[in-house]
Amino acid sequence: MKKTKVLVGLASCGIAAGANKVYNKLKALQEADKLDIDLKITGCIGMCYREPLVEVIDETGSYLYGEIDEEKAVEIFDKHLKQNEIVKDYVVKSDLFESKDDSFWDGQVKIALRNCGVIDPENIEEYEEHDGYIAIKKILEGKISQEQVIKTVLDSGIRGRGGGGFPTGMKWRFAYNNKADTKYIICNADEGDPGAFMDRSLLEGDPHAVIEGLIIGSYAIDASEGVIYCRAEYPLAIKRLNIAIEQAREKGYLGKDIMGVKGFNFDLYVKEGAGAFVCGEETALMASIEGERGMPRKRPPFPAEAGLWGKPSNINNVETFANIP
């Protein structure tokens, strides 16, 4: 018999609505009762307007409970988790019966956000269990060439998600063609657009997807160092990114001779930005990494020719990288 899984949405949206209290309450109840359930944290489940959200996945199906506080958490624990009695009044989504918010999900297909609200973002094994690091494994084990990787990205039709919509594969090809001893790959996680939180949701909910995209990009263009430029107003995203980077290093997805491939060296770090809208523009962003005032400069030269520290560089948005694997 499979253990009942209980997921609490602990992205910024959930935390702001009080999800930490709900998680702590469920944890305390579980420990007091020694109930054999799999209680986990997850990222943004998608219905921020119904936070705090708690999803129970048991043998019968999945039940998403919305607007849960500590009191309701106790009720869910006593009824659903201990007696298999669904608390229908709080269910906002289920695969077993209709609920009032069903229309919200109509037509939604999660692509970049595929793992958000599904996996624990602080656990690399959960990412691996959901086909994580499979794409880079396929490339390295199948000895797929850099040109072939770039062609695949080009053929996929993916265009930059940072706003400009420039074909990603074409950008990678420019960076690949500019030969240099050092090249950089940069992830733009500045997300300056007011009220836009898609990059934050991704970083908080599935940081490894972005890291895997960066590793694939580094392989394709020959970059040995990567930077994720993330605004300091995203402390949870930064925390989870740093945890994920450390885990990826321990597993050999980052560092020297990645996954046993001699000479494939790549590592990355998070650079915190002070939160200026203009620093989302790629040349201003690179100036900011260099410790200069964040001001755009004229092009040419383009970053693919002379970018960070004057070296060929490629910069893509968070969502672009998350789509790559």
Ligand X SMILES: Cc1cc2nc3c(=O)[nH]c(=O)nc-3n(C[C@H](O)[C@H](O)[C@H](O)COP(=O)(O)O)c2cc1C
Binding interface with ligand X (CB under 6 A): 160-164, 166, 188, 190-192, 278, 280-282, 315-317, 320
Q: Six-digit token pair at 57? A: 């996945």
Task: Provide the minimum distance between the beta carbon of 64 and ligand X in the complex, in angstroms, as a whole number.
Answer: 30
Bridge-based pairing of strands 225-231 and 267-273 is parallel
DSSP code at position 77: I
Residue with tokens 């989870």: 240
Buried b (16+ CB within 10 A) or exposed e, 25-51: bbeebbeeeeeebebbbbbbbbbbebb
Cα–Cα dist 222/183, whole Å:
7
Task: Provide the minimum distance between the beta carbon of 282 and ligand X in the complex, in angstroms, as a whole number.
Answer: 4
Task: Provide the minimum distance between the beta carbon of 240 and ligand X in the complex, in angstroms, as a whole number.
Answer: 18
Residue with tokens 């919509």: 165
Nearer CB in complex with ligand X: 50/161: 161
Task: Provide the minimum distance between the beta carbon of 315 and ligand X in the complex, in angstroms, as a whole number.
Answer: 5
Helix (H, G, I), strand (E, B) or coil at 305: coil
Residue with tokens 């209980």: 6
Task: Provide the minimum distance between the beta carbon of 285 and ligand X in the complex, in angstroms, as a whole number.
Answer: 7
Nearer CB in complex with ligand X: 77/184: 184
Task: Provide the minimum distance between the beta carbon of 162 and ligand X in the complex, in angstroms, as a whole number.
Answer: 3
Nearer CB in complex with ligand X: 94/313: 313
Cα–Cα dist 315/133, whole Å:
21
Q: How far is CA 316 from CA 25, 111, 245, 282, in A?
A: 40, 17, 18, 9
Nearer CB in complex with ligand X: 188/201: 188
Nearer CB in complex with ligand X: 54/116: 116
Nearer CB in complex with ligand X: 143/298: 298
Contact, 43 vs 11, CB < 8 A? yes
